Structure 1
Amino acid sequence: MNLITIIVPAYNEEAVLHKLYDRLKEVIKSVPAYQFEILFVNDGSKDSTLSIIKKMREWDKRISYVNLSRNFGKEIAMLAGLDHAKGNAVIIIDADLQDPPELIPEMIKYWEMGYDDVFAKRRSRSGETWFKKWSSSTFYKLLQKMSRIPIQENTGDFRLLDRRCVEALKQIRETQRYTKGMFSWIGYNKKEILFDRDPRAAGETKWNYSKLFDLAIEGMTSFTTAPLRLSAFCGFIISFFSFFYIIWIITKTLIFGEKVAGYPSLMTVILFLGGIQLISLGIIGEYLGRIFNETKNRPLYFVDEYNNEKELNQARPASEQKITKHLNRGRA
């Protein structure tokens, strides 16, 4: 029987874990043709999330867990889940039950039809403010215009991935991760399912506006260099008009004898150009910071415990492993 792994990233989700498990258990019963692994990734929770997962594993051996050594963030937690998933296909779902597990049988049906990436697209989003909906829609429209990759709008991480999609994502070991863009970047045969998103079943959201802004910056800098080109374009336009403005000032002064405008206009121009320069430096700094983080080549995460066994974390960085493979092929 084919094995399907359900990955559940969890950070301080003690209030909702039992509800999630009950609904997943009913869904699994409705698909008897497959075996299932429910893989929880505890992302450094400070509440009793880990202890609840361990207790659930005691009475249901289909449950596995990866306990990360600290909080690395949801993007890294999903990669840890992909690294440890054993299934022929993988389903990623949030623990908060905003994405209904009851869609899983439909996802499996389309997977059986040959689709590699079956993703759930939100038709409506209950429990979210108008500002969050507007800002999300504006961000995706802007990102789609700036990027050459068709970024999926109104979709989250709730999807079924074939094993070859999983292996493709595992090869992308970037430290600054925007997984929603990576789903589009790897390609393969995709199928969307529409659904109405529910509010959280319990607990509080971990995504405040500050974290959402950081995620938006990750998306912008990970999949397009348009901000760099925009800053260069602005510099060119300002320099172009400034050149003609200088000629106009010199002409008025030398030929017509008019006095040059004084302190207020001079300060306005200086402050305007200084602001443009600082914005351009900030954009360059965002990309430079990501280059700095990538060149350190640190492991993306450390595992404290996997299914009641302590991890030694002896794996080398991905780039070093690739070098070793090439050397071994050369010797062969």
Structure 2
Amino acid sequence: MEKPAITVLTASLNDWPSLKALLPLLDAALAEHAASVRVVCMDDGSSLALPGDLLDGHEFKVIDRVEIVHLLRNLGNQRALSIGMGWVARHVTCDWLVVMDCDHEDRPEVIPELLAAARAEGGAKIVFAARTERSESWLFKAFYAAYKRLYKTLTGMPISIGNFSVVPGRLVRKLAGVWEIGLHFPAGIMKARLPYASIGAARGSRLFGRTNMNLYSLVIHGFSGLAVHGEMVATRFILATLASSFLVMIYLAKVLFEKFFTDIPIIGWTSLIVSTFLGFLVQTVMLGLLLLFSTLNARMQRPVIPLNDHPDFIDTVSVFPTDRSRASAPAP
């Protein structure tokens, strides 16, 4: 079987040491699985200068070149990757696109497994690496478990995947047309009903520095995933509140019936508590309706489509050809 051309898309914010260390690991992991590899890294508004020795000290077997796409400003990881998806769709032809973080928590040695799973699906599905083991604290794991339950309850969909995935080349252009991936990459794919599957993979460990994700960023990222399914979340919220209101009204009717038509003693503050709770539920329904109408109104605003709008966010592109590409280039 002919070896494919693979492109790797990642993003970095001042994390050049991680990127430099990642390149030889990518090359080793894909040496037996690719004819050529092109690495595209989105520079998400880094304040640290791009090092000129990015490729120094390495002899690459399959990586032809590394391209650093400099954004005009910091956009955040998800939007940076979405802009990168648009850039790749317009400027790169590949058989497979690997989307991953460059901090080594997405392990390069998992990529061949993702490729095998994608081939088993006939190249018709995006294949994600689902976390089977996490290296965070027990507190983070507890909050993440609660978030997954909340996500499933409000959207009806499971969520245990991140950015790490393999995209068939035929789906890259379609994916670049999904604006929701700028909010939350996997949730955007679910919302667009693009076919996907997943395999289990343990999470790696960060090699350099500390993560840029703090509690605030994690909360925003989590709610961004819910925001992608805003209509579904608002509708389920309203229906749950209406169901609760119906039960409260039944109980209130029971209390009134016992008070006026039976001799059963009624605690004096019971009806007050029930009516107060009913009023709270009415306000909750109104809040849900406001959320739903706000979400539907947002549909009328023109979103940023990565496939078409990515040039507006890109400053320059730095290209680093490897010795392999120079050696294979035809003589002038």
Which range, TM-score by smaller chain?
A: 0.7 to 0.9
Determine what percentage of the aligned residue pairs are the same residue. 20
Q: Which stretch has the larger CA shift, 55-64 or 173-182?
A: 55-64
Corresponding residue to 2:80 among 40, 63, 77: 77
Aligned to 1:129: 137
| Structure 2 CA distance for partners of 1:159 and 1:37, relative to 1, 3 Å | same
Say yes or no: does 1:196 pair with 2:205: no
How far residue 159 of structure 1 moved from its aligned partner, in angstroms, is 1.3
Map 1:208-223; keep pairs closer than 5 Å.
Answer: 208-223=214-229
In structure 2, do the counterparts of structure 1 residues 260 and 135 end up closer, same or farther at CA, with 3 Å as the change threshold?
A: closer
| Residue of structure 2 equivalent to 1:329 | none
- Give the whole-Å Cα distance in 2 for the aligned partners of 1:90 and 1:181: 18
TM-score (norm 2): 0.73
- 1:142-221 alignment runs, 5 A limit: 142-149=150-157, 151-153=158-160, 155-174=161-180, 177-184=183-190, 186-188=193-195, 190=197, 192-221=198-227
| Structure 2 counterpart of 1:25 | 27
Give yes or no for contact 2:126–2:166 (8 Å, CA) kept in 1. Answer: yes
Is 1:297 matched with 2:302?
yes
| Alpha-carbon distance change, 288 to 42 in structure 1, aligned in 2, over 3 angstroms | farther
Q: Rate the CA distance shift 1:276–1:29 in 2: closer, same or farther, 3 A.
A: same
Q: Tell me, in whole angstroms, the C-alpha distance in 2 between the residues paired with 1:281 and 1:94.
A: 40
Q: Which residue of 2 aligns with 1:44?
A: 45
Alignment: residue pair count = 299
Amino acid at match of 2:78: E
Unaligned runs of 5+ in 2: 320-332
TM-fit CA distance, 1:21: 2.4
Query: Relative contact order: is structure 1 or structure 2 higher (C-alpha 8 Å, sep ≥ 6)?
Result: 2
> Is residue 117–residue 160 contact of structure 1 (8 Å, CA) maintained in 2?
yes
Tell whether 2:54 aligns with 1:56: yes
Inter-partner Cα distance in structure 2 for 1:307 and 1:29 = 26
* SS of equivalent to 2:84: helix
Counterpart position of 1:252: 259
Kindly provide the amino acid, as one letter, of the partner of residue 136 in structure 1.
Y
Instruction: Quote the residue 2:99 is aligned against.
Output: 92
2: CA distance between counterparts of 1:3 and 1:306?
Answer: 24
Partner residue of 1:67? 70
Structure 1 Cα separation of the partners of residues 188 and 143 of structure 2: 21
- Distance change >3 Å, CA 137–CA 18, structure 1 → 2: same
> Quick one: structure 1 residues 290 and 208, their matched pair in 2 at CA, closer, same or farther if it must change by over 3 Å?
farther
Deviation, 1:304, is: 3.0
The TM-score with structure 1 as length reference comes to: 0.73
Cα–Cα, structure 1 residues 298 and 181, in superposed 2: closer, same or farther, change >3 Å? closer
Correspondence for 2:9: 7
Counterparts in 2 of 1:166 and 1:287: CA distance versus 1, 3 Å: farther
Q: Aligned pair in 2 of structure 1 residues 108, 241: CA closer, same or farther (>3 Å)?
A: closer
Tell me the CA shift for residue 286 of structure 1.
4.0
What is the root-mean-square deviation of aligned Cα atoms in Å?
A: 3.6
Change (3 A) 1:206 1:278: farther
In structure 2, the CA distance between the partners of 1:47 and 1:269, relative to structure 1 (3 Å rule), is: farther
Tell me by how many angstroms 1:61 deviates.
6.1
| Displacement after TM superposition at 1:158 (Å) | 0.9
Give 1:234's aligned residue: 241
Distance 2:159 2:267 in 1: 54
Aligned counterparts of 2:55 and 2:315: Cα–Cα separation in 1: 14
